[in-house]
Amino acid sequence: GNSVTQMEGPVTLSEEAFLTINCTYTATGYPSLFWYVQYPGEGLQLLLKATKADDKGSNKGFEATYRKETTSFHLEKGSVQVSDSAVYFCALGGGSSNTGKLIFGQGTTLQVKP
Amino acid sequence: GAVVSQHPSRVICKSGTSVKIECRSLDFQATTMFWYRQFPKQSLMLMATSNEGSKATYEQGVEKDKFLINHASLTLSTLTVTSAHPEDSSFYICSASPHLAAITDTQYFGPGTRLTVL
């Protein structure tokens, strides 16, 4: 079945450091891929998404490229800020076999120190 | 826009009692609502999908008689954990979509409800 694997956290970085959070997936068909972010005390928010191979999703300085050959969707940001501290979830769903369901990775906690 | 609320945010109850959790879409009509469960340091696991006015579709392994879902209106869904036991303690998260599940990948998430069963 479909699944998502994220790198384990927590990830602790200093402000302005480069961020990578790895995400790989297993899927049948052609799903869409997502990154969600959960700030403390809030619900999950969609950060970015990509709907087909080689698409790059981007938002708020974050980027991720849908790599079908490596079944990956790694999240990157060139210079993190303290306000980026949150839990990040990689997910898959939609696509050609859409059932409306999202399958999530286990989440990666990012802590950015000033 | 697209705000989803949950109530309560935290609840502590005794073993054997039932607990109701509400999920509301505040500024849109939620054709589809989803209920997830999250254990510490684990991913969100989908429990069930519901469409307004119809019975929920439960995922394999989820006891429908234990986790009662009602989606009676386009802005409200409730999850009732019946005869709760300590193993039901978890973080319950709902999400809502203005569209039918099969034609959208858009979900707006609530902030979650922490259930602790003593």
Distance from CA of B118 to the nearest CA of A (A): 23
Confidence of residue A110 (pLDDT cuts 50, 70, 90): very high
pLDDT at A30: 83
> In this structure, what DSSP letter does residue A95 have?
G
Q: In whole angstroms, what is the distance from residue B12 CA to residue B116 CA?
A: 5
Contact A43 B93 (CB under 8 A): yes
pLDDT at A97: 59
Q: What is the pLDDT of residues A56-108, one digit of tens each?
A: 999 999 999 999 999 999 999 999 999 999 999 999 987 665 667 888 999 99
> For an interface test with A, which of B25, B35, B43 has the most A Cβ atoms less than 10 Å from its Cβ?
B43
The token pair at B44 is 């969100």
Q: How far is CA B76 from CA A19, B83, B86, B115, in A?
A: 38, 23, 27, 19
Q: How far is CA A63 from CA A9, A21, A50, A56, B17, in A?
A: 19, 11, 10, 7, 46
For residue B101, pLDDT beyond 80: no
Q: How far is CA A114 from CA A12, B56, B109, in A?
A: 11, 46, 29
Nearest to A85, CA basis, from A43, A37, A48: A37
pLDDT at A20: 97
Q: Mean per-residue pLDDT for A1-20?
A: 93
Backbone angles phi, psi at A95, to 5 degrees: 75, -160
Q: In whole angstroms, what is the distance from residue A14 CA to residue B8 CA?
A: 35
Query: Which residues of chain B neighbour A99 with C-beta distances below 8 Å?
Result: 101-102
Q: Give the one of A36, A43, A98 whose C-beta lies nearest to B111's C-beta.
A: A43
Q: In whole angstroms, what is the distance from residue A26 CA to residue B49 CA?
A: 22
Q: How far is CA A11 from CA A107, B68, B78, in A?
A: 11, 37, 35
For residue B102, pLDDT beyond 90: no
pLDDT at B39: 82
Contact A44 B93 (CB under 8 A): yes
Q: What is the pLDDT of residues B4-19, one digit of tens each?
A: 999 999 999 999 999 9
